[in-house]
Chains A and B, each alone.
Chain A
Amino acid sequence: MGVAVESRDQALVESPIVFDVAGLNVHYGDFHAVKDVGIQIRRNEITALIGPSGCGKSTVLRCFNRMNDLIETARVSGSIRYHDVDLYGSDVDPVQVRRHIGMVFQKPNPFPKSIYDNVAFGPKIAGFDGDLDELVEQALTQAALWDEVKDKLNDSAYALSGGQQQRLCIARAIATSPDVVLMDEPASALDPIATLRIEDLMQGLKENYSIVIVTHNMQQAARVSDRTAFFTVDMEETGQRTGVLVEFDETSTIFTNPGEKRTEDYITGRFG
């Protein structure tokens, strides 16, 4: 981990803020999943959300594209500004939000369609009227999958390996030219080699996109991210568990010189 972190030791250039989150609370029914989270996501950076199970990192991620709207009992309060738009404003259509903010899920979830149709799905439903073939090739190339699939675009996506399927899902997400790509533990179902490929891919993707990644794997956060947010589980006065943000800083700081004891305990493996 040392080498990767040192190479980025100099302070990051402050690029423009894409998401500005303040006082974010999420409830699922009576369950207070996330409490008072404040965090900024910056353009062309990779921001990692780490922490133990149940700390609410995936919940926070799913606020960024309003995926939580799909859960009937979910309630979101506080403010998330996407550029200068209030993401949860009454005039914001979650469907439009998701066309700007792509998502890659924990388990590869290609559609039971051909490789081509998987990538073309997003552009098609958004009414894309340019050269679809070219767009599909571009997206697959960016996802480092083109060379492996260019001769079998009409084969089922299910014929691909797990790692290939996940890269296909990344290609599918970027085919709609999103502004941000959210990744929810994108490599947790993959073997180490496939994981490395995804990590390499992310480094290339951040040239064009802003990336937020949730990961269980601290080494992964240290290897790929520019900034890291560490979440943990707190007991509320009522005895209920709730997720809180402990510390948010440049990744090199979090991993070498964390400001909070709880962060240090977690990254050195004393907890979690």
Chain B
Amino acid sequence: MRRLFLGMAIVSIAVSIAIVASLLGNAVGFFVDVDKGSLLDVGWFPRRNRFDLLTPIAGTLVMSLVAMLVATPLGLGAAIYLAEYAKPRVRRLLKPVLEILAGIPSVVLGFFALLWIGPNVVVELLNSPKPATILTASIGVGILVTPLVASVSEDALRAVPQALREASYGLGAKKSTTVRSVVLPAAVSGIMASLILGLSRAIGETMVTFMAAGAVGGALRTWNPLDSGTTLTAAIASVATGSDQVAGEALAFEGVFALGITLFFITLVLNWMSDRFVRRVRQKY
């Protein structure tokens, strides 16, 4: 039995190492082969040998940060309502709904973003000339990530001992003061974890951006969410669709690995930063 579990552990570690090795190997191959001048260009157009890495990086940063601007207030608000204000009956009803929302396939949300958020929110409300923009994808991804943020932070809020709330009420604190000054600070590490999880999910999210951000095959570099754009993941997806085409264009294919390794490092740095942050601000109870 012990050997079986050890074997499983070894396999999963070996697979991870193999993935990183193949990523690294191909990415190095790409950086050796590529014309260095094409790494800083007007945009990311792999089939035209324009490999501006900053384009998908900027797209990823802008898309995921705007998505978190949507998901943080919605998710935290929902969590605070469910954990602190909702009557038990309401909560029993809403919590499963939230968990179902968390399971919506991203392709469905991509479709919704493209056909509804684009024309109705981005064009109508924000007067954008075109519906398919980074912002369109951001709102879609924000909605996608909200249930995750809400669910994990709600657990964190509910894990705060009732005795702390009682202590606060006993001192003449109002409900809102108790939530703000006692419950939220006590739950901050769990809430941060939910936001980091949400951000990781947003950065890794592919389908919504691929469908709704308006980039076909490539995109110009931009930091403006009202432009069309691409992200690291969507750029990988768009190179990888139609594998025979890719096979014919060796450099574009290897470029995908350069994107992959960049994504890998962004996630790694994010995890490391969040770990340090949580350690610093945690209030243990």
Report which A residues bind B (CB closer than 8 A).
65, 67, 70, 72, 95-100, 102-103, 105, 107, 109-113, 121-122, 125-126, 156, 158, 169, 172-173, 176
A156–B169 CB distance below 8 A: no
Q: How far is the CB of A122 from chain B (nearest CB, A)?
A: 4
CB-CB nearest in chain A for B282: A112
Q: How far is the CB of A63 from chain B (nearest CB, A)?
A: 14
Contacts of B192-233 to chain A: CB distance below 8 A: none
Given A95-B173, A105-B170, 17 new contacts (CB under 8 A)? A67-B170, A95-B172, A98-B170, A98-B171, A99-B171, A99-B172, A105-B163, A105-B166, A109-B163, A111-B164, A111-B182, A112-B164, A112-B283, A125-B174, A125-B181, A169-B167, A173-B170
A112–B166 CB distance below 8 A: no
State in angstroms the CA–CA spacing of A107 and B173 once bound together: 20
CB within 8 A of B186: which of A70, A102, A112, A126? A112
Report which B residues bind A (CB closer than 8 A).
87, 161, 163-164, 166-174, 177, 181-182, 185-186, 283-285
**Which residues of chain A come closer than 8 Å to B167, judged between CB atoms?**
105, 109-111, 169, 172
CB-CB nearest in chain A for B174: A95
Q: How far is the CB of B231 from chain A (nearest CB, A)?
A: 39
State in angstroms the CA–CA spacing of A160 and B87 once bound together: 36
Known: A109-B164, A111-B164, A156-B284. A70 touches B172 (CB 8 A): no
Q: How far is the CB of B254 from chain A (nearest CB, A)?
A: 51
**Which residues of chain B come closer than 8 Å to A65, judged between CB atoms?**
170
Task: Tell me the total A-B contact number using a CB cutoff of 8 A.
Answer: 70
State in angstroms the CA–CA spacing of A1 and B136 once bound together: 77
Q: How far is the CB of A77 from chain B (nearest CB, A)?
A: 22
Q: How far is the CB of B16 from chain A (nearest CB, A)?
A: 36
Kindly name the residue among B169, B174, B181, B283 whose own CB sees the greatest number of chain A CB atoms within 10 A.
Answer: B169
**Which residues of chain A come closer than 8 Å to B164, judged between CB atoms?**
109, 111-112
A102–B171 CB distance below 8 A: yes
Q: How far is the CB of B186 from chain A (nearest CB, A)?
A: 5
A-B contact pairs, 20 of them (CB 8 A): A70-B169, A95-B174, A98-B170, A99-B171, A100-B172, A103-B166, A105-B170, A109-B161, A109-B163, A109-B164, A111-B168, A111-B186, A112-B164, A113-B185, A158-B284, A158-B285, A169-B167, A172-B171, A173-B170, A173-B171
